[in-house]
Structure 1
Amino acid sequence: MRAEKNNGCKVVNTRIHTITTLLQDTLLQHDLLNDHLYTELLNNQTLDKICGPEGLRFKYERASVLNKYHNYFWTGAQHSMDWQMLKSIQEHYLLLRKKAESDTKLISSDFDNLLSEDNLMYLHQNITSALVNPELEVETGIDEFEISFIIPSIWRESIFNELCCDGVIKERHYTNEGYDRRYGSSTQFQYRTGGIFVFHYMATQGDCLVSFRLSQTPWRNIRHFFNCFKQGLDRNYQEFLDHAKVTRVDPYMLIKGYPLPLLLVLEDYTPNGEAISTSCYRENEGFARSIYSGDRFKSSHFIFYDMLLKFLELKKGYIKGKKPIKTRQRFKKLFDKACSVFCISKIERRIHTHKNGSKNNSINDINKLNGHGFERLKFFSPLALLEVSHSIRVKIFEHGFANVADELLPKQRESLRKILAKPQYQLYFDHKTVMQQHINNVEKLQRIIKCPDILPNNIKL
């Protein structure tokens, strides 16, 4: 793989994989993809004949699943020349993970299939191309978004009345313990075509917080929600805009076709030069499922996690969980249509503006919000794994690459450092393009909140 400089930037001569071209789907294209999915799934006549409370709830939950995990329901991937390679990597990865979660101690030969030279070269080409051309090959978006404000209870009830319309379910929300302690009450509004807006509030004092996931919500539903907000507040909407504060925004990027343990990425430094605290979440003493870079309890931080595992856990919960039998059967039919299941690694930045000390957390200033931190990410080629010892490989898989340093002996750390210092393993990352895409998404959200459109009556919510 030859890298050369061009106008101050590294340009990598590598082919653009068919699979990444097929899977281009940024958040800005979200509504278009949803329309395609609804044609095949949401508007399926058999499913739309479902009636009753459980059938209605299934429709709403189905939409959120399709929106967030749209990559796994896209039939185009199967027609790619790279599909067999992607499936092979996924199968070897899941087999190795399953073996690690048993009591069996992994030996060097257990890694031979997944870490074959062909697989690692393919992944090297894949990620090199994606990091150089993120505009074309990396999906970006925003997951969780929170906004806090204070309004009289009569204003809140007026908003609730506006939101109670066709296509929107109002119900009690069972929130997490932290929000329960602070607010005491919560109501959620769920849209038929995807999206759950949770309204936390104090019954008497007027403190409120609204949270929703853009990854589950089409833009048109966000417009509708804030349009109802505006209609409910009427001339007081400007006062809401002037005083509301954005308390959390989670921009992310997806590296498609990539198993999490092979994603060799770490946060290179902190803005103030302090050491970065890292941690990971493991289950049954197996491989890392999520890796945290930064103190997740006290500040904004990165989290690297496995979208494939999240999807498989979601599938298991819906099919084998405590839902009624008919609902589980319906979800089984839905997940049977997931024909493009492959590895996806997600890099998410959780920005807590109140913990950052950010001054740009008003609605008018969220386009200036700092703390994205993607410029601090440093990527390494998976080909480096061909040189590391078996013991270091196991530690990387168990604890995550970004978190592995504290788990290694001094000699192992020095050995890994020398390998990663080689120029052929250090990858160029066009972080400016990724950050600009995040800014574009935030600015679009900002425009919608400030001036929500009035939607035509024929648009399904």
Structure 2
Amino acid sequence: MKAFKSTCSGTDTQHNSKHSSTSHNCNTKNKQTNPKEPKFVKRTLDKMTYDFASIENKYSYLFDDHSTLDKDDIFKKVFKYFNKAETALRNKTKLKELKLFSSKIIKELNTKLTISLVSPKENIKSGVDDIELTFSLRLNDMDKVIHNLNKTSGVKNCMHHKRKGYNEYNNKFEFKFRKGGAFIIYYKKNNAGTQIEKCFLSFRPSEAPLSSINKFFFIIKESIGTGNYKSFLKSIKVIRKDLCIEIYDVPSNLILVDTKSKIKNISVFDNANSFHGTTYLGNDRNSHTAIYCMTRKLLDKVNKKYGDNIVNKIMESVSRVYCGTKIERRLKSNQQRSMSTSIKHLECINGHQFDNLQFYSPRVFNELSEAMIRKILIKGFAKRHETFTNKELSKLKPILGSHLLHFEHEDVCDELTSYLLAIKKVIISPKVKLK
């Protein structure tokens, strides 16, 4: 288990909107083909059952049935070599002598990444990781909503620790759904405790199937009545939505991606003499882009909450352990003036910046010195202007120019718009039961 954890970098995911609206349900029935998985679910506590549903939705690429894959699949070898590369980084041994940087492996990674970027509908998973909004609701109506959520079968009221920056809210609830998804409600009462001054809601469509989103908002509608629900919808202000794409099988540290325009604020979370983690392009207080290995993030998150034993059980139950690299564009309304905050315009993705991304072939590594490769793996490709010498930058510029890859970003944007429209539909008109 420890060996695997070192293969994917990242610190800090999604319904698959890449095919059709039916895929939004994220119903991974394929898990029934793996005999180990039901045993894992039965052995875990009830709280893990709810969390596991969200994990299975968000990290569906780990749980899909890949039983037809060749046991000698090239990408299994990639991660075996990748693990050895991290050891080499720590021991300061030569990286270019490792099989990870052999011409065969680099060729395979180049082919995989090129195909993914040219045909994202078939090879890249696009979606919405997070939505945050504010709204208005009377205190007695909020009490009804909380009461009905508490008594709804398949919904669990869980302990929630306040996020950093949300201390002004003196009431907090987190409702987890058995089919996946957690809906976090914060609200602040006035000093007399008779009225609500501010309300905040956060949920992750990456973890919640459309049926859970529909059910949550239907409970609100049934609790406060149709007339008040219309007022509730008018009061909604969408303050954040995280758009994302997921690229599989190519380690995040070997995906050379940057932006066409210069970014003033670039930060990379890294470990000394080890693979770098999350890269942030832009100031995280405003709209920005984050790039990280979602597989490592999952393992870190589960390990922190449940311990190594649960992590091992998860890894026993999955049929695939290849890396998933996530690129998120986190849109915040405080900066995106063109971003409408009305729920009626939820599908608006102005400022998405996917058209501003530039990808370069892994073949770049074949032409770099040992020192340059080491700097990229530890400090991140986006930080090269700070870590490379002028001589190294001069050498790199023509290499990048000859290895630029085409990214069909318009297909990704179409998928994101379509998925946001589906979410908007169930929020505005939730049904008793989603068909």
Q: State the Cα distance separating 1:25 from its structure 2 match.
A: 6.6
Alignment of 1:29-428 (within 5 A): 29-37=23-31, 44=38, 47-48=41-42, 55-76=45-66, 78-81=67-70, 84-100=73-89, 102=90, 104-109=91-96, 112-164=98-150, 165-179=152-166, 181-204=167-190, 205-234=196-225, 235-269=227-261, 275-297=263-285, 299-317=286-304, 320=307, 328=309, 332-422=312-402, 425-428=403-406
Give distance in 1, aligned partners of 2:316 and 2:202.
31
- Work out whether residues 258 and 358 of structure 2, in 8 Å CA contact, stay in contact via their aligned partners in 1: yes
- Work out whether residues 237 and 341 of structure 2, in 8 Å CA contact, stay in contact via their aligned partners in 1: yes
Q: Secondary structure at the match of 2:28?
A: helix
Give distance in 1, aligned partners of 2:324 and 2:41.
29
Q: Secondary structure at the match of 2:382?
A: helix
**More helix per residue:** 1
Q: State the Cα distance separating 1:320 from its structure 2 match.
A: 2.9
**Structure 1 gap ranges (5+):** 1-22, 322-327
Q: State the Cα distance separating 1:275 from its structure 2 match.
A: 4.1
Give distance in 1, aligned partners of 2:305 and 2:183.
21
Change (3 A) 1:348 1:83: farther
Give distance in 2, aligned partners of 1:395 and 1:192.
44
Report Cα offsets for 1:282-315 as digits up to 9, x if no partner: 1244211111111112x21111101232233245
Give distance in 1, aligned partners of 2:397 and 2:40.
58
Give distance in 1, aligned partners of 2:294 and 2:20.
16
**Structure 2 gap ranges (5+):** 1-15, 191-195
Change (3 A) 1:452 1:333: same
Q: State the Cα distance separating 1:61 from its structure 2 match.
A: 1.7
- Work out whether residues 27 and 139 of structure 1, in 8 Å CA contact, stay in contact via their aligned partners in 2: no
Change (3 A) 1:338 1:287: same
Alignment match, 2:193: none
Q: State the Cα distance separating 1:68 from its structure 2 match.
A: 1.6
Give distance in 2, aligned partners of 1:127 and 1:43.
30
User: Counterpart of 1:147 in structure 2: which amino acid?
Assistant: L
Change (3 A) 1:25 1:416: same
Q: State the Cα distance separating 1:94 from its structure 2 match.
A: 2.0
Give distance in 1, aligned partners of 2:33 and 2:295.
25
Aligned length in residues: 412
Report Cα offsets for 1:32-87 as digits up to 9, x if no partner: 53344378689948855x7xxx82212112212222222112232x4224962011
Report Cα offsets for 1:363-418 as digits up to 9, x if no partner: 01122241111000011111111111111111111121122221111111111112
Alignment match, 1:15: none
Give distance in 1, aligned partners of 2:312 and 2:31.
17
Report Cα offsets for 1:214-264 as digits up to 9, x if no partner: 111111011100111111221111111112111111111111101011101
- Work out whether residues 260 and 344 of structure 1, in 8 Å CA contact, stay in contact via their aligned partners in 2: yes
TM-score under structure 1 normalisation? 0.83
- Work out whether residues 257 and 358 of structure 2, in 8 Å CA contact, stay in contact via their aligned partners in 1: yes
Change (3 A) 1:394 1:47: closer
- Work out whether residues 306 and 344 of structure 1, in 8 Å CA contact, stay in contact via their aligned partners in 2: yes
Give distance in 2, aligned partners of 1:339 and 1:257.
14
Give distance in 1, aligned partners of 2:251 and 2:71.
15
Q: Secondary structure at the match of 1:367?
A: coil
Change (3 A) 1:380 1:275: same
- Work out whether residues 303 and 347 of structure 1, in 8 Å CA contact, stay in contact via their aligned partners in 2: yes
User: Counterpart of 2:111 in structure 1: which amino acid?
Assistant: Q
Q: State the Cα distance separating 1:31 from its structure 2 match.
A: 2.3
Residue identity over aligned pairs, in percent, reads 25
Give distance in 2, aligned partners of 1:316 and 1:34.
23
Q: Structure 1 residues 35-44 or 137-146, which shifts more? A: 35-44
Change (3 A) 1:402 1:68: same
Q: Secondary structure at the match of 2:92?
A: coil
Which has the bigger relative contact order, CA under 8 A and spacing at least 6? 2
Change (3 A) 1:251 1:82: farther
Change (3 A) 1:47 1:419: closer
Q: Structure 1 residues 223-232 or 356-365, which shifts more? A: 356-365
User: Counterpart of 1:34 in structure 2: which amino acid?
Assistant: T
Give distance in 2, aligned partners of 1:45 and 1:420.
49
Give distance in 2, aligned partners of 1:262 and 1:391.
15
Alignment match, 1:452: 430
Report Cα offsets for 1:179-229 as digits up to 9, x if no partner: 1x2323210101112111000111334311110111111110111001111
How large is the Cα RMSD of the aligned pairs? 2.5
Q: Secondary structure at the match of 1:215?
A: coil
Change (3 A) 1:27 1:320: farther
Q: Secondary structure at the match of 2:165?
A: helix
Q: State the Cα distance separating 1:427 from its structure 2 match.
A: 0.9
Q: State the Cα distance separating 1:138 from its structure 2 match.
A: 0.6
Q: Secondary structure at the match of 2:269?
A: strand
Give distance in 2, aligned partners of 1:391 and 1:42.
44
